[in-house]
Chains A and B, each alone.
Chain A
Amino acid sequence: NAGVTQTPKFQVLKTGQSMTLQCAQDMNHNSMYWYRQDPGMGLRLIYYSASEGTTDKGEVPNGYNVSRLNKREFSLRLESAAPSQTSVYFCASSAYMGDSSYNEQFFGPGTRLTVL
């Protein structure tokens, strides 16, 4: 099993350009997440999807959109990139299904994005 995969691994954009980060998992997980990691700030949740067809905002959703294409895939789109979006982006998934289950999340390798 590949676990959680992300593409691309690295990307450089100019201010105003758009791009989509792709994420896929092969663990049959219901929940998927997008985080950004900035130095000294831990991971901050951008958007998450509790199941196919649903998405919700996290802590820092401004400037991003997401699509839960099917159970396996969850993409993150930057419509008009800004230098403040320079970060490392991680996708994660978990088997979380509700209050009776726990939310151990498994992470992809990350995408290192620079916006000039």
Chain B
Amino acid sequence: ELKVEQNPLFLSMQEGKNYTIYCNYSTTSDRLYWYRQDPGKSLESLFVLLSNGAVKQEGRLMASLDTKARLSTLHITAAVHDLSATYFCAVDAYGNKLVFGAGTILRVKS
């Protein structure tokens, strides 16, 4: 059974600081997705990572995938308040299905 673990589950950080969210998964996959969810809202697709070594960047967020280590990271550079949200990784290991991590709640304090 595929398991997806995110850590930390809660992250409180100061504006301007850098931090990384980790997503580990238990079986082979080369397809991983990151989503953002604002409180009371739906999920918004952030990044699609489709191969080992894939790196995608959008603004202050950068995601990478290491399929050999079964690890994806979401790096936050110089955090701003607008990045406060819950971030989910999801792993595609069974073709038509995704398995989601529990989510990381990010709070950026000014």
A16: Cβ under 8 A from any B Cβ: no
* Contact of A103 with B31 in the complex, beta carbons under 8 Å: yes
Give every chain B residue within 8 A of A31 (Cβ-Cβ).
96
Interface size counted on chain A using CB atoms at 8 A: 25
Decide: B42 and A42 in contact? CB cutoff 8 A: no
Minimum Cβ distance to chain B for residue A108 (Å)? 6
Interface secondary structure of A, over-half rule? loop
Residue of B nearest to A110 (CB): B42
Asked if B88 contacts A106 (CB within 8 A), the reply is: no
**B43 with A48: CB separation less than 8 A:** no
Do the beta carbons of B42 and A109 come within 8 Å of each other?
A: yes
A25 to B97 Cα, complex, angstroms: 18
Enumerate chain B residues within 8 angstroms of A109, measured Cβ to Cβ.
Answer: 41-42
Asked if A107 is at the interface (CB within 8 A of a chain B CB), the reply is: yes
Specify which of B43, B50, B88, B96 is in contact with A96 (CB 8 Å cutoff).
B96
The reply to whether the CB of A11 lies closer than 8 angstroms to some CB of chain B is no
Most buried by A among B90, B97, B101: B97
Please count the residue pairs between chain A and chain B whose beta carbons lie under 8 angstroms apart in the complex.
59
| Cα–Cα, bound, A37→B104 (Å) | 14
- Docked CA distance A89–B102 (Å): 16
Residues of A within 8 A of B98 (CB): 45, 103, 105
Q: Enumerate chain A residues within 8 angstroms of B101, measured Cβ to Cβ.
A: 42
Do residues A99 and B97 form an inter-chain contact, with CB atoms below 8 A? no
Minimum CB–CB distance from A39 to chain B (whole Å) comes to 9
Q: Does A50 contact B (CB under 8 A)?
A: yes
CB-contacts of B65-110 with A (<8 A): 88, 90, 92, 95-103
| Contacting residues, chain B, for A50 (C-beta < 8 A) | 96
Shortest distance in angstroms between A67's beta carbon and chain B's nearest beta carbon? 18
Q: Contacts A40-B103, A43-B90, A56-B96 given; 8 further ones with Cβ under 8 A?
A: A42-B4, A42-B101, A45-B99, A90-B42, A102-B48, A104-B48, A105-B45, A107-B43
Q: Which 9 A-B pairs have the closest CB atoms?
A: A42-B100, A107-B43, A43-B100, A42-B102, A107-B42, A103-B92, A109-B42, A104-B48, A50-B96
